């Protein structure tokens, strides 16, 4: 293990094994797909978390159970479901979405949303009731109260967003199925992400190359984490 790490750390110094255009384009696809999916997920997740967290309605427990179950959705199953949706024979077949980044965003959206919703739900319901009461007492509208709650819960929500991003960007099963792991013959990735590229190298027994890409993915996630935490106030 230690030997592998040492060997792996010295690899890039010897000779970087990929063309820069190839790596740049797969990093771009990875970020574009995952960040778009997570952005959309967050936009959906926050209202849902607020609703489930504070509104009283029949089936609320069921909704919570569904959200929690959704966190454990197998990515391959999600990929297959989205594939059937966007495939030529599927209900969205006319839009020609199969093997596109858009289809990949769809499947990652499905994967990330329950995670972000679930963690955000815990965060917003954990906000001290006094804060909400005070907000009401000061004459805040429902929206004001919601915004105050979200502001109070922002660290927890940021964690949820990061968890969702982690789920999306490190996921290989669904993007492989709906995206097709396509790279142009000139080495420009079209629907190839870091994870599917890792899978491609591992499949051919080129484990060192797969590890190099894995390291790039880790660094990328680290950078995105730093940015999100900075935006979220940086207290964590």
Partner 1 sequence: MHRREFVATLGVGGAVAIAGCGDTDDSGDAEITDETLTLTTTTSTYDTGLVDELTLAFEERFGAEVAVVNEGTGAALETGRRGDADVVMVHARSLEDEFIREGYGVNRRDLMFNDFVVVGPDDDPAGIDGTSDVTEAFRSIADFESVFVSRGDSSGTYAKERELWEVAGLEPGGEWYREAGSGMGQVLVQTDQSDGYTLADRGSFLSMRSQLSIGIRVEGPIQDGPELLANPYGIVAVNPAVHDNVAYDLALAYIGFLTSQAGQDVIESYTVDGEQLFFPRALSAEPNFEQYVPEDWTREEG
What is the contact surface with partner 1 in residues (CB under 8 A)? 28, 32, 87-89, 93, 96, 98-101, 180-186, 188, 190, 200, 202-206
C-alpha–C-alpha distance, residues 196 and 171, integer Å: 9
Q: How far is the CB of 10 from partner 1 (least distance, A)?
A: 19
- For residue 173, what is the enclosing H or E element? helix 173-179
C-alpha–C-alpha distance, residues 183 and 192, integer Å: 6
Q: How far is the CB of 19 from partner 1 (least distance, A)?
A: 12
Closer CB to partner 1, 98 or 123, in the complex: 98
Closer CB to partner 1, 45 or 75, in the complex: 75
For residue 183, the cross-strand partners are 189
Question: HSE-up of 153 (CA within 13 Å, CB side)?
Answer: 28
Closer CB to partner 1, 25 or 117, in the complex: 25
Q: How far is the CB of 187 from partner 1 (least distance, A)?
A: 8
> 185 exposed, middle or buried (CB, 10 Å; 0-12, 13-18, 19+)?
exposed
Q: How far is the CB of 87 from partner 1 (least distance, A)?
A: 5
Closer CB to partner 1, 26 or 224, in the complex: 26
Closest CA to 42 of 171, 169, 157, 172: 157
Q: How far is the CB of 184 from partner 1 (least distance, A)?
A: 5
- For residue 112, what is the enclosing H or E element? helix 101-125
Closer CB to partner 1, 88 or 141, in the complex: 88
């Amino acid at each position: 293990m230690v030997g592998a790490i040492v060997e792996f750390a010295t690899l890039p110094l010897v000779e970087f094994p990929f063309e820069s255009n190839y790596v740049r384009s797969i990093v771009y696809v990875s970020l574009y797909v995952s960040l778009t999916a997570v952005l959309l997920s967050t936009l959906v997740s926050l209202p849902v978390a607020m609703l489930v967290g504070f509104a009283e309605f029949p089936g609320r427990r069921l909704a919570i159970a569904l959200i929690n179950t959704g966190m454990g959705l197998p990515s391959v199953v999600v990929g297959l479901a989205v594939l059937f949706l966007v495939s030529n024979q599927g209900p969205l077949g006319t839009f020609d979405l199969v093997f596109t980044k858009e289809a990949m965003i769809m499947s990652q959206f499905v994967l990330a949303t329950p995670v972000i919703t679930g963690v955000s739900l815990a965060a917003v319901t954990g906000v001290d009731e006094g804060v909400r009461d005070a907000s009401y007492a000061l004459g805040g509208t429902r929206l004001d109260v919601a915004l105050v709650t979200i502001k109070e819960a922002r660290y927890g929500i940021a964690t949820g967003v990061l968890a969702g991003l982690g789920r999306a960007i490190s996921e290989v099963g669904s993007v492989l199925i709906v995206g097709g792991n396509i790279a142009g013959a000139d080495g420009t990735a079209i629907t190839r992400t870091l994870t599917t590229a890792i899978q491609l190298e591992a499949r051919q027994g080129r484990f060192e190359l797969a590890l190099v890409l894995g390291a790039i993915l880790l660094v990328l996630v680290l950078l995105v984490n730093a940015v999100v935490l900075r935006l979220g106030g940086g207290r964590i």
